[in-house]
Amino acid sequence: MSTIELFWRARKGAALGLRGTDNLSLDWRAIIERKDRIVESWSKGKEENLAKLGIAVLRGKGRFSGPNEIDIEGKKLTARKVIIATGSRPARPSFPGADHGITSDDLIHLKEQPARLVVVGGGFIGLEFGFALARAGSKVTILQSGPQIGPALDDEIREALLVTAKEAAIDIFTGVQVSRIAENSTVEARVGHKNMSFPADEVLLATGRPSNVDNLNLPKASVDVERSAVKVNEFLQSVSNENVYAIGDAAGKHQHTPVAWYEGPIAARNALKGNERKVDFSVFPSAIFTIPAIGQVGLTEREALQRGLKAKVTRLPFTSNPAAGVRDETEGMVKVVYEEATDKVLGVHVLGAHAEDMVQIAAVGMLGGLKRSQLGAAHYVFPTLGGAIFDAMALG
């Protein structure tokens, strides 16, 4: 995504004095090959670390063959404690012709960039790939079954995202019921009261990721499952088998890499030393890598009001941020949700260049219990995009 963002920004560079940007092109195959090299080198590094730590790696599909026994393709292992870290996989919708679609796992290996991409699903994976391909020059259409894309987003951030999607020439349809994908990759769907066809070169199925726990023979170990993930308590311990723990996508709380990294050591420690540490997601920053990206931490305005909090908001568009102006990165905004009576920061939502980094400033402030007015009075470096976080805190 970062190469494509660079490409998109460079192509707009004529206004900044760059020349030759009209002839700039993107080598899709080179991007995919570079991604493969990076992934390979990272996994090699991880494997070397495991070897240095003396951790044995057995290759094969594991499943429970008893409460404390795992069968790895015929080889049996017994353990006092087991941690399930089997991740998730893309859902395959049940409508006819779904096999003609591809998943995100396939898309990142495509040798050619599809000229027309239809994305089924307007959640974070659908939005990320939709924006990436659109910024790379593909014609993108997103079909979302629910009433809105990015259901977990703050409403105003979603509105701002829709503006950037329009500028990226992404067509978005909501309330869509896909009826089938034809062999030539045309998606046939009911949109409201109309039947519509969406021709495509590739159809990306981005309809969620169930956890990989259904093929683990969990009943053999009496491990309960809830909403396709292992049902765990705050110690990441299975609620039905005290010797089993689960982390990351398999535990189903938040599907993000740092969640698995955070939960792994907690589960390992709890399994080996007794339940000592609880997971804490009270301040949890996350990002959606649309182009530009979305960063968010804490409650949306709607969530705050639904919880009965007397919430107020401040907003700052990046058009008011000098660094954004200098860099020609003025799309998007910062929105701060805070509790009126206490001035507590309840949530911060950013759409804009480097939003994924900027939101972490807010997250650290929230973790430290800083009030909105304290963050609004803090010294900051000028001119910076991150300055917008402090300026937004100072408003209102």
Ligand X SMILES: Cc1cc2nc3c(=O)[nH]c(=O)nc-3n(C[C@H](O)[C@H](O)[C@H](O)COP(=O)(O)OP(=O)(O)OC[C@H]3O[C@@H](n4cnc5c(N)ncnc54)[C@H](O)[C@@H]3O)c2cc1C
> Cβ closer to ligand X: 354 or 372?
354
Query: Which range of residues in 109-117, 245-253, 337-345, 382-390 is near ligand X by CB under 6 A?
Result: 245-253
> Cβ closer to ligand X: 43 or 177?
43
- How far apart are CB 286 and ligand X at their closest, in Å? 7
Does residue 232 bind ligand X (CB under 6 A)?
A: no
- How far apart are CB 206 and ligand X at their closest, in Å? 8
**Cα first-last separation, the chain:** 35
Helix axes 28-52, 2-11, angle to 10 degrees: 150
- How far apart are CB 55 and ligand X at their closest, in Å? 15
> Cβ closer to ligand X: 125 or 361?
125
Residues in the chain: 396
Query: Tokens 């195959």 sit at which residue?
Result: 29
- Under 8 Å between Cβ of 387 and 321: yes
Q: Which of 101, 114, 126, 248 binds ligand X (CB under 6 A)?
A: 248
CA 34 to chain CA centroid, nearest Å: 22
Contact letters (x/-) for ligand X, 71-100, by CB under 6 A?
--------------xxx-------------
Residue type, 391: D
Query: Tokens 């807010």 sit at which residue?
Result: 362
Does residue 256 bind ligand X (CB under 6 A)?
A: yes
Does residue 125 bind ligand X (CB under 6 A)?
A: yes
> Cβ closer to ligand X: 230 or 362?
230
72: enclosing H helix or E strand: strand 69-72
Spatial distance between the Cα atoms of 229 and 254, rounded to a whole number of angstroms: 11
Does residue 268 bind ligand X (CB under 6 A)?
A: no
Helix axes 2-11, 124-135, angle to 10 degrees: 40
Number of residues that bind ligand X (CB under 6 A): 19
Q: Which of 23, 25, 184, 257 binds ligand X (CB under 6 A)?
A: 257
Does residue 5 bind ligand X (CB under 6 A)?
A: no
Per CB under 6 A, contacts with ligand X among 187-226 are: 212, 216
Q: Which of 3, 21, 104, 174 binds ligand X (CB under 6 A)?
A: 104
Q: Which of 64, 289, 318, 390 binds ligand X (CB under 6 A)?
A: 289
Spatial distance between the Cα atoms of 21 and 106, rounded to a whole number of angstroms: 31
Pairing between strand 286-288 and 293-298? Answer: antiparallel
DSSP 137-192: T-EEEEE-SSSSSSTTS-HHHHHHHHHHHHHTT-EEE-SEEEEEE-TTS-EEEEET
Q: Site residues (CB under 6 A) for ligand X? A: 61-63, 85-87, 104, 125, 212, 216, 248-250, 255-258, 260, 289
